[in-house]
Amino acid sequence: MRPRLTIALTRGRMVEEVLPLLRQAGVAPEESMNASRKLIFDTVATGVRIIVMRSEDVLVYVERGSADLGITGKDTLLERGGSGYYERLDLGICACRLMTAAPKDAPPVQGRLRVATKFVNITRRYFALQSRQVDVIKLFGAVELAPIIGLADQIVDIVETGTTLAANGLVPLETIAEISGRVVVNKAAMKMKYAVISDLVSRLEQAVGKSHSARGS
């Protein structure tokens, strides 16, 4: 009997962009996931189901084996870390950059830098490599507000087009990492279900290649 596979997906834009790739790989959901409140979806592939959740939870489910595969952003992998999974494939979806940003024409900050972000671990590592002393301020909402009202000197955040930064008088400074959707696989599942997981990852890789070719034509 073909082993059951559970695929964990991040809600929102990630689901929208990964579904066409999953369909090409033969793993289309049996019903529309748009506007559905369901969290578990069967697919047309025998024994394969999709579960949806917050990006921060995908790695928890994958590492603990409740999901065999997960698809989440590279930012989540960099921020959370972990050792219970393999990063197998860059899907090239939801592409953006993790960057520092500051108010336009702001003078250089002397001394300790105040940085607002939800990516606390990434931020600390980044500035440590620069031998720069920082106070990292963890926020859960719109970090662009922090420099405007004087809470922070800079921010570290995801930048796609820069429109939100510009609208709030901020400019991007340095790129910390290129971000896109990645496929991660539970280490134990990779051993126990090697053939079926490798086959799915291979089909997804082919779908990514076709997608890139279509955009380039």
Radius of gyration of the chain (CA): 19
CA angle 121, 122, 123 (to 5 degrees): 90
User: How far is the first Cα of the chain from the last one, in angstroms, to the nearest whole number?
Assistant: 41
Q: What is the pLDDT of residue 36?
A: 84
Structural tokens at position 164? 């939100």
Domain 5-94+180-216 has CATH 3.10.520.10: no
Residue 3 confidence (pLDDT) above 90: no
Percent of the chain surpassing pLDDT 70: 96
Domain ranges in the chain are 5-94+180-216, 96-178
Query: Which CATH class name applies to 96-178?
Result: alpha beta
What pLDDT band is residue 1 in, cutting at 50, 70 and 90?
A: very low
pLDDT band at 35 (very low <50, low <70, confident <90, very high): confident
Whether the per-residue pLDDT at 213 is higher than 80: the answer is no
The closest alpha carbon to 49, from 29, 26, 78, 35, belongs to 29
CB atoms within 10 A of CB 203: 17
Q: How many residues comprise the chain?
A: 217
For residue 216, the model assigns a pLDDT of 62
Please determine, for residue 217, whether its predicted confidence score (pLDDT) is greater than 60.
Answer: no
Could you tell me what percent of the chain has a pLDDT over 90?
87
- Identify the pLDDT of residue 136: 98
Is the sign of the CA dihedral 208, 162, 16, 52 positive or negative? positive
Judge whether 5-94+180-216 and 96-178 match in fold. Answer: yes
Which pLDDT score, from 0 to 100, does residue 31 have?
93
- How does pLDDT run across 83-108, given as a tens digit for each residue? 899 999 999 999 999 999 999 999 99
